[in-house]
Amino acid sequence: MVDTTIPTRTSGHNQLQSLKEQLRSVTSFPAQVKTDSRLPAGTNVSDWLAAQPFETKVLWSDRESSDTVVGAGLARRLVADSSQNMDDVVLQCRQILADSTDLRFYGGFSFRRDEHVQSRKWRPFRHAQFVLPRFTHDGTTLSCTVMDEKDFEQAEQDIDSLETSVTSLSPSPKLVQRVDLPSKADWQANIEDAIELFESEIVEKVVLARRADFTFDRPLSPIRLVQRLMAATTACYHFCFQLDHGTAFVGATPERLIKRHGSRLLSEVVAGTRPRGLTESEDRRLAQELLSSAKDQLEHDIVRKSIRQRLHKYVNALEVDSQASLLKLARKQHLYSGVRATLKDGVSDGELLERLHPTPAVGGYPTENALAEIARIEQFDRGWYAAPIGWITSDAAEFAVAIRSGLVSDRELSLYSGAGIVPGSKADEEWCEIEHKIRDFLDVMQTS
């Protein structure tokens, strides 16, 4: 693994020439070469990403810091179908990475892991897909990855294609049409259907989702959309996976599934929602309402119990917050419980993903029954919505749950969000909760 950084600031032309010169000195693979690449004042890495001509683009922003990494172009792609489990996919990524700790695969899985026909909208994403970008940029350093000797020529061609002229945020397109699936009347029927499941004791909780399709007057820029979300939403993972030209999965999710380094594992329970108040007193009232809500506490407890049960045999020590606290975001607040564990030797990240996905926060409980009812009731393909998305290195991994997300396809934006349905749920209240969850997207789209 070659990791070479040129510490001096250079012009765009010199940066590209520097990468080429370093590539010629590479003798072991996979290799990554780097050059200093400070962006002009008033621009950032998402501006740089938006300017690049490549079909494949990714953006990942950490929830707990301002660190954002973007990737453009493709050094390697790994695609899997439903016959391959998550553990197989993670292992294949690690085999490609070897011991190269600086290289990251970015990608995700579909919500459903069984054999099913994917909708046209989600077909480019497949059941699982991970990409190793040709170029990554973190705001100060531009890196280029080459996989083997046969990859040199393509890498040099990709360097020649890099755009060094970067522009800032552009105006948003205008909304032309909105269509809800299901309609409000059908949503009422779906909730009534779910209530009957509780009465017959088939499930204790089921998470039902809605899709809202928006059409605009001109094509959307997924990168620009995420850029606006980053400015408007705090304490979230922000992401963009553009794996096909004109089609991208984007979002701002507050929910971590796993973060693992060595034997240390972090996970969490995020279930139960209220908006933030417009004043301090209103915010306190809504927070107290959430903390004292029997319905929301029940929903949260079901997820917390499930996490304990699923992790039990994989850990030497497990600590789950016994009482929910508040996770306060810019416009929403959630019931939150932290999960901390020390893993047993030999437990893989793929095993953890298989064990934890889907949590009752996005599927329901018991899981098998809830998933069967979701497949029966919902009228659309969830695709990667509410599924694990994240990154993999040779010795670590982090995955979030892809809620608060949308699929961009040319002039269309399909927004996905769900509500946990338990005994006591009311259709109108759950409809309004989902409207509030997708509000972040609608507000940033209306910003010129």
Cβ–Cβ under 8 Å, residues 250 and 445: no
Angle between helices 152-161 and 12-23 (to 10 degrees): 180
Encoded tokens for 291 = 């903390």
β strands within 276-431, DSSP E: 315-320, 325-328, 332-343, 364-365, 388-392, 396-401, 405-409, 412-421
Q: Which amino acid is at 165?
A: S
Distance in angstroms (rounded) separating the CA atoms of residues 411 and 284:
40
Q: How far apart are the first and last CA of the chain?
A: 45
- Annotated catalytic sites, by residue? 205, 255
Residue with tokens 């999965």: 249
Distance in angstroms (rounded) separating the CA atoms of residues 123 and 222:
18
Cβ–Cβ under 8 Å, residues 167 and 47: yes
Q: Which residues pair with 398 in a beta bridge?
A: 259, 391
Encoded tokens for 197 = 């499941």
